[in-house]
Structure 1
Amino acid sequence: MSDVRSTAGDLDVDLGKLFASLARNWLRILVVALVVAALAFMFASMAERHYRAETRLLIETRESIFTRPAPADSDRPILDEEGVASQVEVIGSTDILKKVASQLDLAKLPEFDPSAEMSTISRFLVMTGLKADPSEIPAEERVLKAFREKLNVYRVDRSRVIVIEFSSTDPKLAAAVPNAMADTYLAASREAKLASNLDATDWLEPEIADLDKRVKDAEARVADFRSQSDLLIGQNNAVLATQQLAELSSELSRVRAGRASSEATAESMRKVLQQGGSIDALPEVLSSPLIQRLRERQVQLKADIADLSTTLLGNHPRIRALNSQLADLDVQIRREAQNVLRSVETQAKTAQLRETQITAELNRLKAESARAGEQEVELRALEREAAAQRQLLETYMTRYREAASRQDRNYLPPDARVFSRAVVPSEPYFPKMVPIVGAAFVASLLLMAVGTLLRELFSGRAMRPAPGARFEPVVQVAMPLAAQTAQDDDMADMMSEPGTGGSGTETEPTVEVVPLSLVAPAGKVPVQTLGEIGVEHAAEKLIASGASRAIFVSPEGDEAAATAVLVARAVADSGLRVLLMDLTASGAASKPMLDSSRYPGITNLLTAQAQFTDVIHTDYYSECHIMPVGTADPARAMRAADRLPIILESLARAYDIVVVECGPSDADDIRRLVGEATEVLLSLLEPEDEVVAAAENLRAGGYHDVILVTPIGSDLPTRPVPGRSVA
């Protein structure tokens, strides 16, 4: 087997030598940094001094509850974020800048006229056409351009404060400009309010005159309609016909109730009198004064008869006279009851006649009320129109008087105030000597250090060979010591032939004859070799080939399964994520990694008794992960063997390399395990016939690049790695 490695992979950076170059060149780095700092100090000392001052405005409503007009709640200025941002734009507008420039006479200052004092370099650039001639721009535009470059108007975050900031070489001018801008802005805001107030009064005056005429016309129409119609107003501002209709309706209800009561009383009295019943139960009879007196006389006669019956017989003339009087009283009482009945019937007839009259009058009033209702609707419409016109007139007159009074008194405060005026600065903001010199010194130090490190790195002096690096291809052939001497002469002849690396121009792989005693332990030298490689070489080959799966076949049984464990650990030690799946019947691959076979594994996953997180464990001795055989029924797990490709595909996405130990298997057994970027490896302890047969079977099955790996010379760890535990 051959192994070819690139030179780039065989070199490492020697950090000690790399950073030692800084110590060797410290004087040059320091001198350059000091020179740069001195130049920065010189330029900063020669630079022109600039001063900065600022004025702060607070945007707020200046009206109070005593001076604010009544309808002004809906006309208040918007003081939200957009409203304050709009005021920032107003302050920096061209009109205010022109007023301030004219007020302070900025056009006469050389600072605001680039064409007044041009340097020699600027004049040369203008003459060569590399720079525009400032004199070709109007003087006012030049002043405004320079003004805007020195001005900064901004809003303080999360507030209604606006800052007017101005910089100049003259400290007095730096303070005068923002104060003048603030005063000009306040005056412009007041003038804008005065203009708006004047426009309002000019518009309200003719509107009030027109509304006054319309109110008079509307009220006249109401009076004319009321005089022409028969709408007589009664109590509660109701039409008389409607009021009478309501009263007659109440009267009709009362008469109907009285008639019904009289008819019912007459009917009950008639039945009692016809049937000869007692009239004492009739309230109307008992309420008659005559009947009451007759009843009292009747009671007196009954009392006298009772007194005389104690001493006289029933045929006594006196008793008989009293009985005769008593009978006459009964006749008189019944006759009087008949009179009461006729009186009640007369009342019922009278109530019926009254009902008829009221009904007729009610029908007449209904027609009259309907006619009055139509007229009332029209009258209400005229009155509403007059009331609306009158209310609008009163509103306009109120606003007109308020606007006129505020204009006469000249009271229109702007919605802003200056709470911090600019003062003449005593120290320039540019140049700052210490920060400039310090920044130049630190930057030059960093640049010189980086340049020194890069020069040392690119020169190759900071490079060193990587551990185990090979700078030429090497072919290792393991052979018995008995055959080594016979092979030396042939190898020497082959190396001396042209084209083999002896005297030819082309470089050929150097064949290194390695005694088998260096590969296998002493006393266990196999009779022949099959071109097998060691564990480390196999791990390097898997990493270099970019394989995502490594299928191990161990025809010699459980002892050869240690090869897969050693290769998986070697790959894991290189920093890759590795998982070893144990598909042997006895768990030979997972036992040395977990020291037990009681953990759930692939059989539990196939039988749906566990999930991925339950069957993946950590090797006690390395960073490798292990999926053991498991504790589920193997026969039941084999019925779900079709899920193995899906499981392997999922694991290949989660790990860099998935190592599968299949035990003594053939080409057909491992076919479902093979996928993209898969390497097939054959574990070999001794080159016996069964190993040769297994290799031939794999090659016949289509796996021509079978890699033979031997664990000879590698030892399994006997102590767990500190801090390692089962996942």
Structure 2
Amino acid sequence: MDQRVMDQLVAYEYRDKVALPQPPESRVRRDARFSLWRFLAGFCIVLVLAACAWPHLPRVYVAMETLVLRPTGLNGPVDPTAAMRQPLDESAVLSELDMLRLDGLVDHVIARHGLDADPEFAPSRGPAELLVRAADRWPGIFPRPQRAENRERDTAELRRNVRDHFVIDRDRRSYTFRVGFRSSDPHKAAAVAATIVQQFVDMQVERKRAILENVTAHQAEREHALRDRAGAARREILEFRIATGLIDQGARASLEAQLAALSAEAAATHARAIEATTRAQMLASMQEQGTLDGAPEVLSSPIVQQLNQSLSAAFARPTIFPAEVNAIKEQIAASRDRILVAAQAEAANWIKRRSLIEDELRDIRERLVELNKNQFRLDAMMQEAANADAAFLEALTSLRSMAAPNGLQPDVEVVSPATVPDRPAFPSPIPFGAGVLVLGVLAGAALNPRPLLRGVQRLVTG
């Protein structure tokens, strides 16, 4: 061990045993006995004071109701679609709990139980009341405070006092929470707690009712709009069918029959026109070549045959008259020309007829195309009308389903209603007793400062 430490220990021992005078043993015992009595006296004084103060301590009673939140629809737990909805998240639960501190709920509680006249919650009127009295007594010296400002201030303070007595306890691991009220009267605490919960439930139902009214109004407006739209679509379809002729169901069949008949006739006319044109062109070519006399049409002509017989008879006479022969030849030539002109005219007539038939076919096809276009447009309009009718029926069904058959239900269920508490929440005997014991020990120790100082000195010095 260090020599310096040894010297210090020897010095302390010498000071305690030799240098300082030691008190007698009787005096030490007397001092110890006196210190114990002083400690017991302080401890007992605290116990007596606590026992005297216990009956006079203000009692605070707390009445609680246990509730559970449930994710539901407009109809509450009976809504069959509630099982398909997501559960309430943390923000939704906190939002519901914040509804318990709204001014409207607090005002309802105040008005229901007359808490504005209750001394436990009424705002303090000390300085304001003194100022009013001074203004009434000396109006020229003290200004009278504004009543509106005082009323607003008193209302805000009253709300704050009542709201401070609300008790909200929530288990963050579930949707269960407890709502209560703290008061010096147990019956008042139970009654106000029941009012708070009932008003909370009524506010939920009222909020749902407002939402339902808004949704119903919107659905009714939508239903009227869709009804008008469906009616307008039906009227537009009727007007369109009348304007386009689609209302006549036989028009299309008649046009299709005409098209079929004219198509067959057009084919026959086209063949006859080709035949007549070919014959006329052949006769014209034979006329240019001077061989028209051998044409079948000329040879088969009764007039040409008769003239040829007359010419043969003229040549068979003993005396031939040139004038008669020339006249017969001119008649034969004229007949050949008439046959050519008749063939050309016939070809022209067939061509013209073919052109007329083709024009008529073109007109019928255009009318059919227009009918098809109108039919397509009519089909689209009918589809739009069908969609409008379906939307109208859906809106009507939705509007009819808005009415809750069993009434609107809240999203909260009261699991345990509030009862009149039989024991105060403050003061509690166990914490009060523990506090009294601690204060008694401290009071007994405070009456014995010298032993405490010596103990502290010994702890400090080593």
User: Which interval holds the TM-score relative to the shorter structure?
Assistant: 0.5 to 0.7
CA separation of 1:419 and 1:63: change in aligned 2, threshold 3 A: farther
Q: Do the aligned residues in 1 keep the contact of 2:105 with 2:199 (CA within 8 Å)?
A: yes
Per the alignment, residue 436 of structure 1 pairs with 432
CA separation of 1:458 and 1:65: change in aligned 2, threshold 3 A: closer
Q: What amino acid maps onto 1:146 in structure 2?
A: N
Q: Given the two structures, how large is their TM-score scaled by the length of structure 2?
A: 0.53
1:215 is paired with a residue whose SS is helix
Cα distance in 1, alignment partners of residues 3 and 372 from structure 2? 116
Per the alignment, residue 66 of structure 2 pairs with 56
CA separation of 1:226 and 1:66: change in aligned 2, threshold 3 A: farther
Q: What amino acid maps onto 2:203 in structure 1?
A: A
CA separation of 1:5 and 1:195: change in aligned 2, threshold 3 A: same
Residue pairs, 1:650-665, within 5 angstroms: none
Q: Is 1:188 aligned with 2:198?
A: no
Q: What amino acid maps onto 1:143 in structure 2?
A: L
Residue pairs, 1:570-649, within 5 angstroms: none
Cα distance in 2, alignment partners of residues 453 and 380 from structure 1? 111
Q: Do the aligned residues in 2 keep the contact of 1:190 with 1:412 (CA within 8 Å)?
A: yes
Cα distance in 2, alignment partners of residues 461 and 62 from structure 1? 71
Equivalent of residue 159 in structure 2, options 144, 153, 159: 144
Cα distance in 1, alignment partners of residues 451 and 397 from structure 2? 85
Per the alignment, residue 175 of structure 2 pairs with 160
Q: Is 1:79 aligned with 2:88?
A: yes
Per the alignment, residue 111 of structure 2 pairs with 102
Residue pairs, 1:696-711, within 5 angstroms: none
CA separation of 1:107 and 1:391: change in aligned 2, threshold 3 A: same
Q: Is 1:44 aligned with 2:42?
A: no
2:53 is paired with a residue whose SS is helix
Q: What amino acid maps onto 1:91 in structure 2?
A: L
- Give a deviation string over 1:329-350, Cα, whole Å, max 9, x none: xxxxxxxxxxxxxxxxxxxxxx
Cα distance in 1, alignment partners of residues 106 and 232 from structure 2? 54
Equivalent of residue 35 in structure 1, options 40, 45, 54: 45
CA separation of 1:382 and 1:455: change in aligned 2, threshold 3 A: farther
Equivalent of residue 221 in structure 2, options 206, 214, 234: 206
Per the alignment, residue 426 of structure 1 pairs with 422
Q: Do the aligned residues in 2 keep the contact of 1:47 with 1:431 (CA within 8 Å)?
A: yes
Q: Do the aligned residues in 2 keep the contact of 1:92 with 1:153 (CA within 8 Å)?
A: no
Cα distance in 1, alignment partners of residues 211 and 76 from structure 2? 21
Q: Do the aligned residues in 2 keep the contact of 1:174 with 1:424 (CA within 8 Å)?
A: yes
Per the alignment, residue 88 of structure 1 pairs with 97
1:112 is paired with a residue whose SS is coil
CA separation of 1:63 and 1:190: change in aligned 2, threshold 3 A: closer
Q: Do the aligned residues in 2 keep the contact of 1:112 with 1:147 (CA within 8 Å)?
A: yes
Cα distance in 1, alignment partners of residues 380 and 245 from structure 2? 15
Cα distance in 1, alignment partners of residues 78 and 166 from structure 2? 36
Residue pairs, 1:269-668, within 5 angstroms: 381-403=380-402, 405-406=403-404, 411-442=407-438, 444-445=440-441, 455-456=453-454, 458-460=456-458, 463=461
CA separation of 1:74 and 1:383: change in aligned 2, threshold 3 A: farther
- Give a deviation string over 1:440-470, Cα, whole Å, max 9, x none: 3135537877988863355348745xxxxxx
Q: Calculate percent identity across the aligned residue pairs.
A: 24
Q: Do the aligned residues in 2 keep the contact of 1:41 with 1:433 (CA within 8 Å)?
A: no
- Give a deviation string over 1:365-424, Cα, whole Å, max 9, x none: xx9999999878756654543343223212211121122x43xx6711222222211111
Q: What amino acid maps onto 1:166 in structure 2?
A: F
Cα distance in 2, alignment partners of residues 166 and 65 from structure 1? 27
Residue pairs, 1:99-138, within 5 angstroms: 99-115=108-124, 136=150, 138=153
2:425 is paired with a residue whose SS is coil
CA separation of 1:142 and 1:65: change in aligned 2, threshold 3 A: closer
CA separation of 1:145 and 1:425: change in aligned 2, threshold 3 A: same
Q: Given the two structures, how large is their TM-score scaled by the length of structure 1?
A: 0.35
Q: What is the deviation of 1:195?
A: 2.4
Cα distance in 1, alignment partners of residues 375 and 224 from structure 2? 30
1:111 is paired with a residue whose SS is coil
- Give a deviation string over 1:533-565, Cα, whole Å, max 9, x none: xxxxxxxxxxxxxxxxxxxxxxxxxxxxxxxxx
Q: Do the aligned residues in 1 keep the contact of 2:41 with 2:444 (CA within 8 Å)?
A: no
CA separation of 1:84 and 1:462: change in aligned 2, threshold 3 A: closer
Cα distance in 1, alignment partners of residues 166 and 42 from structure 2? 38
Q: Do the aligned residues in 2 keep the contact of 1:49 with 1:430 (CA within 8 Å)?
A: yes
- Give a deviation string over 1:46-71, Cα, whole Å, max 9, x none: 212221111122222387799648xx
Q: Larger helix proportion, structure 1 or 2?
A: 2
Q: Do the aligned residues in 2 keep the contact of 1:41 with 1:437 (CA within 8 Å)?
A: no
Q: Do the aligned residues in 1 keep the contact of 2:76 with 2:411 (CA within 8 Å)?
A: no
CA separation of 1:441 and 1:209: change in aligned 2, threshold 3 A: same
CA separation of 1:372 and 1:34: change in aligned 2, threshold 3 A: farther
Count of residue pairs brought into register by the alignment? 303
Q: Do the aligned residues in 2 keep the contact of 1:88 with 1:154 (CA within 8 Å)?
A: no
Cα distance in 2, alignment partners of residues 421 and 66 from structure 1? 19
Structure with the larger RCO, 1 or 2 (CA within 8 Å, 6+ apart): 2
Q: What is the deviation of 1:210?
A: 1.8
Cα distance in 1, alignment partners of residues 77 and 460 from structure 2? 84
2:120 is paired with a residue whose SS is helix
Q: What amino acid maps onto 2:210 in structure 1?
A: A
- Give a deviation string over 1:594-639, Cα, whole Å, max 9, x none: xxxxxxxxxxxxxxxxxxxxxxxxxxxxxxxxxxxxxxxxxxxxxx
Q: What amino acid maps onto 2:457 in structure 1?
A: S
Per the alignment, residue 187 of structure 2 pairs with 172
Q: Larger strand proportion, structure 1 or 2?
A: 1
Q: What is the deviation of 1:152?
A: 1.4
